[in-house]
């Protein structure tokens, strides 16, 4: 019951804990069952992550200079640093010198003098807040939370998202960009404790209200929000996960969105994968997804 089993049509836990996928098993032990990192079984599972063919492949593609892809100055390509570091974070790869080198490469070529991240460090564009929020989690996970460059990125994100029109995006027809709200909330979820202020909390509240108060049209404009993907950060489950991370699960506006996500589970308490990566697919389309089910349990645990 501790992970919201009463909301499930079946118990997916044995399936998630199967050793065949050590990454999912590791996060299930840690995030759902709250096992300590010092537990021998947790340590054994994490050690197995490094031996997965995909993890070995990702590190084998890293260049001696620390980057991925042919051009270090373009980390946003399909096989560039952003895609690889995001995936390694998701897989639970242990931070080491290789991940630090990759993060340093990313920061060298994607951080603007303002502190924010963009496709190129030379341009200040309206996509800075969402890219900044979206990449801070892997930078913190890989141990750069005390790095002055990462602190500058947090400060940028808070300042940029403090304006009333922070979510007005030219790429979204100048409407509030809900994708941007999810990305910013994900970044602020890993904000160091000493940087948390009344201003940062006001930003969190504004972003959460944008997601909770939106007029969703799940038959039209927001229909694809009901297609859950792995990895993917722009769907209903991603929004619920971001909201739950900031303590908004008890909000009355959360409930109908949560119920809609629950309705997508199958008879065994599993969620299907509707969207996959073409570069490094970790699931199969229209098949039960361990990764999506894991995220659903992460949300359920906070309800």
3-state secondary structure of 85: helix
Residue 126: predicted pLDDT: 45
Token representation of residue 292? 């999506």
Q: Which of these ranges, 116-130, 254-268, 286-300, has the smallest mean pLDDT? A: 116-130
Burial per residue of 144-174, b for 16 or more beta-carbon CB atoms within 10 angstroms, e otherwise: bbebeebbbbbebbbbbbeeeebbebeeeee
Count how many domains the chain has: 1
Instruction: Tell me what the mean pLDDT of segment 127-152 comes to.
Output: 93
Token representation of residue 218? 């799940």
Q: What is the pTM of this model?
A: 0.94
Residue 122: predicted pLDDT: 55
The reply to whether 42 falls in a domain is: no
pLDDT in tens, 213-269: 999 999 998 999 999 999 877 899 999 999 999 999 999 999 999 999 999 999 999
pLDDT in tens, 147-192: 999 999 999 999 999 988 888 876 666 578 899 999 999 999 999 9
Q: Give start and end residues of each alpha helix (H) in 92-190.
A: 97-110, 128-141, 148-160, 178-188
pLDDT in tens, 7-29: 999 999 999 999 999 999 999 99
Residues 227 and 274: beta-carbon distance below 8 Å: yes
The reply to whether 252 falls in a domain is: no
The reply to whether 87 falls in a domain is: no
Q: Return the number of other C-beta atoms located less than 10 Å from residue 287's C-beta.
A: 11
The reply to whether 177 falls in a domain is: yes
The reply to whether 8 falls in a domain is: no
The reply to whether 154 falls in a domain is: yes
pLDDT in tens, 28-39: 999 999 999 999
Q: Write down the residue that tokens 């560039």 correspond to.
A: 80
Phi and psi of 179, rounded to 5°? -60, -45
Which DSSP state fits 271? E
- Taking the C-alpha atoms of residue 154 and residue 147, their distance in angstroms, rounded to an integer, is 11
Token representation of residue 56? 């070995």
Domain of residue 188: give its range: 111-214
The reply to whether 146 falls in a domain is: yes
pLDDT in tens, 43-72: 999 999 999 999 999 999 999 999 999 988
The reply to whether 85 falls in a domain is: no
């Amino acid at each position: 019951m501790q992970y919201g089993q009463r909301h499930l049509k079946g118990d997916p836990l044995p399936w998630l804990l199967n050793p065949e996928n050590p990454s999912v098993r590791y996060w299930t032990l840690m995030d759902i069952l709250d096992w300590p990192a010092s537990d021998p079984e947790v340590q054994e599972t994490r050690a197995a992550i490094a031996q997965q063919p995909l993890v070995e492949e990702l590190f084998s593609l890293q260049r001696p200079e620390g980057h991925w892809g042919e051009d270090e100055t373009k980390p946003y390509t399909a096989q560039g640093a952003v895609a690889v570091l995001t995936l390694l974070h998701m897989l639970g790869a242990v931070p080491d010198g290789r991940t630090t080198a990759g993060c340093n490469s990313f920061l060298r070529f994607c951080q603007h003098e303002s502190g924010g991240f963009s496709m190129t460090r030379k341009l200040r564009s309206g996509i800075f807040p969402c890219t900044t929020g979206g990449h801070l989690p892997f930078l913190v996970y890989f141990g750069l939370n005390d790095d002055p460059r990462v602190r500058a990125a947090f400060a940028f994100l808070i300042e940029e998202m403090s304006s009333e029109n922070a979510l007005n995006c030219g790429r979204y027809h100048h409407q509030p960009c809900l994708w941007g709200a999810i990305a910013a909330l994900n970044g602020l979820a890993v904000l160091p404790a000493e940087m948390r202020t009344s201003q940062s909390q006001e930003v969190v509240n504004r972003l959460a209200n944008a997601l909770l108060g939106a007029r969703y049209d799940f038959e039209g404009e927001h229909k694809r929000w009901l297609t859950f993907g792995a990895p993917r950060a722009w769907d209903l489950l991603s929004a619920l996960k971001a909201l739950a991370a900031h303590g908004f699960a008890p909000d009355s506006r959360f409930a109908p969105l949560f119920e809609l996500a629950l309705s997508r589970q199958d008879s065994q308490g599993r969620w299907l994968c509707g969207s996959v990566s073409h570069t490094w697919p970790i699931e199969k389309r229209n098949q039960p997804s361990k990764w999506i089910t894991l995220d659903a349990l992460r949300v359920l645990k906070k309800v």
